[in-house]
Structure 1
Amino acid sequence: MPIRQNIINNPKSERVRRVADLSNRRSRERSGRFLVEGPQSVREAVRYMPQVITDVYVTVSDDPERSSRDPELARHGYEGSPETMPDDVPVSALLSPIVAEAAKAGLYVHLCMPGVIERMSRDAQGIVAVGDAEAMRAAMCDAFDDAACGISAGDAPTLVAAFWQVRDPGNAGTVIRAADAAGCMGVVFVDDCVEELNPKVIRSTAGSLFHLPVVTMTTDGFFAWCDGRGLPVTAADVYGTPANRPRPLPEVLSDDEVSRAPRAVLFGNEARGLPADILERAAQVVSIPLYGRAESLNLGTSAAVMLMSMAMSSHVRSCPEE
């Protein structure tokens, strides 16, 4: 679809208000839309899941002729000059490759005055996108189901990251990003968690939300799903229970059979961890040893350490010896 040449210049217009209102959950539920903010997140949404994006809004630039060799381009995943853009589209060198990808994907692209983008989102950094929430969730479920079909068939061990009652949007985004970096096949939000399409969650994933499926399940539903696929649940917890004591992470990783096996790793609530009844249902409990004086690690750090450690261990063990 062509880039809309008429520039949106009224920050009080109904269209602008509707986009700005997507920061509110009730507005998202009522409209069936969600907001993607900032160059990195919009770029990844346009590149990996364009089918769920309905509109892209980009600020016009005061200096569209700025050097295409801007160092920011490399930092945001582009090498060399931006893709071909019409000469009369006044978009900065940083944003023009994203706009070009959006136009190539057939998305509606709207040019806006800076004040309009600022009204839509204070975290826009010049660009936002609006997505279809139903299409996004359907695509996530389909991708998760497809990935689940290959749990026992793939060469590399399967790792599923699950989070029970994660409530903080920043934490939720951080753990999705950690799961993406660790190569997890998907993320499961278990029980009453923060909405995965909360704009702060999306921002905090730095684009990872569009790389791997994120689905929601009840606690019973999660354990039933794992049981049905022969996927043991590893609970991340410091104390465990008298009947299910935690094993230190290094000890688990040194066990060749355990480290190579597919697994789901379940992390608890930021403040309360995992309750005893859930710990009892896990195949094993694993803890991260602390060698300094820190009392504990926060959820994001714990998830990053454990998921990356398990991923590195399984990948090293799965590589053939020379």
Structure 2
Amino acid sequence: MPLTQGTMTNPNADRVRRIAELTRAKTRRKVGRMLVEAPQAVREAVTFHPERVEDVYIAIDEDGNTVSARAAEIAAYIMGHKDECGGIYVHYVTQRVMDAISGDAQGIAAVASTKGMAGRLADFAAGGDNDVDGRRGPLTIAAFWQVRDPGNAGTVIRTADAAGADAVVFVDDCVDPLGPKVVRSTAGSLFHIPVLRASVDELFAWNADHNASVLAADVRGTGDLKPVPLPELLAAEPKDDAHTSRSILFGNEARGLDDDILERCDGIVSIPIYGKAESLNLATSAAVLLYSLAMSSHVGKM
């Protein structure tokens, strides 16, 4: 772990300004770097993809003590794993410098390369040739069309990761998955699961090329394609290893999925509403549906 000498004290330094500018998508694209804020996200980046992490910034107080105990643990981890983390530079900074870098850092932030992140779905392997964490076989892809809210985007990435999905795909005009608020909202899951991009046509082409189906989450369906209630879908799920690869497609937070997209899907599933609420928000719908399908595939019929 290369440890820089001295403490960074100037919040107006060019280096600090360049880091802070990583909050802008245009800057991230130009320099190929992203900002990772807060202990959870930095820890997962360092643990799962240390080769992408270039610099870690840790705030210290006037007595030279690390402001965050969790940040100190991350520094100790980097120090103890020199083979994996030898390329990470650790910088200690004053609180004023940290505030200039990010108001959401909670004592630690990192700069990481965006290489290999948020790539294209077309480049993602599938089926028997795919190897995700040592697993082979049919895939579950969580796809989100025109998700615009950074908090929602981060939450659905975290949910897909927890439910065991093999990848997340942001379809068409979505929020940048490498933006700081999205990264924070994933709580580190961005570094566990591939997050990819695709157009609508690319999504359907990829599924067709890999003999995978597209299942839309929608409450109304179309004139020709009506939704199947989730309990009925789960009851019809195969109990053995007969599952095939599929993409679960969720729509925009405000208007769902357009009819022309729904009509291209292989099926539609709806989540029953048993109370008086009109609907569920995107993050909740993704959690209910992805977890229900995951549990069904893991333990058989529910």
The answer to whether the superposition gives a TM-score over 0.5 is yes
- In structure 1, the residue matched to 2:130 is 150
- In structure 2, the residue matched to 1:68 is none
- In structure 1, the residue matched to 2:290 is 307
1:108 paired residue among 76, 82, 89: 89
1:181 aligns with 2:156: no
| Cα pair distance change 1:227/1:142, threshold 3 Å | closer
- In structure 2, the residue matched to 1:160 is 141
Task: Write out per-residue CA displacement over residues 193-247 of structure 1, whole angstroms, 9 at most, x where no aligned residue.
Answer: 1111111110110100000000001111110101111111000000001111000
- Superposed, 1:9-158 pairs within 5 Å as 9-61=9-61, 92-103=68-79, 104=82, 105-106=85-86, 107-137=88-118, 144-145=124-125, 149-150=129-130, 158=139
Please identify, of 252-261 and 125-134, the stretch whose mean Cα deviation from structure 2 is larger: 252-261
| Cα pair distance change 1:23/1:209, threshold 3 Å | same
Q: Structure 1 regions of 5+ residues with no counterpart?
A: 66-89
CA distance in 1: counterparts of 2:14 and 2:170, whole angstroms = 34
- In structure 1, the residue matched to 2:224 is 243
Tell me the TM-score normalised to structure 1 length: 0.84
TM-superposed CA distance for 1:125, in Å, is: 0.2
- In structure 2, the residue matched to 1:287 is 270
Query: Residue 184 of structure 1: SS of its match in structure 2?
Result: coil
TM-superposed CA distance for 1:148, in Å, is: 7.2
CA distance in 2: counterparts of 1:145 and 1:171, whole angstroms = 26
CA distance in 2: counterparts of 1:179 and 1:61, whole angstroms = 38
Please identify, of 90-99 and 273-282, the stretch whose mean Cα deviation from structure 2 is larger: 90-99
CA distance in 2: counterparts of 1:113 and 1:308, whole angstroms = 43
For 2:36, the aligned partner's letter is V
Report the RMSD for the aligned CA atoms in angstroms.
2.5
| Cα pair distance change 1:160/1:141, threshold 3 Å | closer
Is contact 1:64–1:93 with CA below 8 Å preserved after alignment? no
Is contact 1:143–1:213 with CA below 8 Å preserved after alignment? no
TM-superposed CA distance for 1:120, in Å, is: 0.4
| Cα pair distance change 1:249/1:62, threshold 3 Å | farther
Please identify, of 282-291 and 1-10, the stretch whose mean Cα deviation from structure 2 is larger: 1-10
- In structure 2, the residue matched to 1:221 is 202
- In structure 2, the residue matched to 1:83 is none
- Give percent identity, aligned residues only: 52
Query: Residue 220 of structure 2: SS of its match in structure 1?
Result: coil
CA distance in 1: counterparts of 2:91 and 2:152, whole angstroms = 32
Query: Residue 36 of structure 1: SS of its match in structure 2?
Result: strand
Structure with the higher helix share, 1 or 2: 1
Q: Structure 2 regions of 5+ residues with no counterpart?
A: none
CA distance in 2: counterparts of 1:177 and 1:158, whole angstroms = 17
TM-superposed CA distance for 1:166, in Å, is: 0.7
Q: How many equivalent residue pairs? A: 292
For 1:25, the aligned partner's letter is A
- In structure 2, the residue matched to 1:82 is none
CA distance in 1: counterparts of 2:63 and 2:127, whole angstroms = 45
CA distance in 2: counterparts of 1:142 and 1:278, whole angstroms = 19
Please identify, of 56-65 and 243-252, the stretch whose mean Cα deviation from structure 2 is larger: 56-65
CA distance in 2: counterparts of 1:154 and 1:28, whole angstroms = 32
CA distance in 2: counterparts of 1:29 and 1:122, whole angstroms = 22
| Cα pair distance change 1:129/1:146, threshold 3 Å | farther
For 2:212, the aligned partner's letter is L
Task: Write out per-residue CA displacement over residues 273-306 of structure 1, whole angstroms, 9 at most, x where no aligned residue.
Answer: 1111111111100000000000001101100110
1:271 aligns with 2:271: no
TM-superposed CA distance for 1:30, in Å, is: 2.6
Is contact 2:127–2:138 with CA below 8 Å preserved after alignment? no
Query: Residue 134 of structure 1: SS of its match in structure 2?
Result: coil
For 2:267, the aligned partner's letter is Q
| Cα pair distance change 1:12/1:299, threshold 3 Å | same
Is contact 2:121–2:206 with CA below 8 Å preserved after alignment? no
Please identify, of 56-65 and 303-312, the stretch whose mean Cα deviation from structure 2 is larger: 56-65
TM-superposed CA distance for 1:263, in Å, is: 1.8
- In structure 2, the residue matched to 1:255 is 236
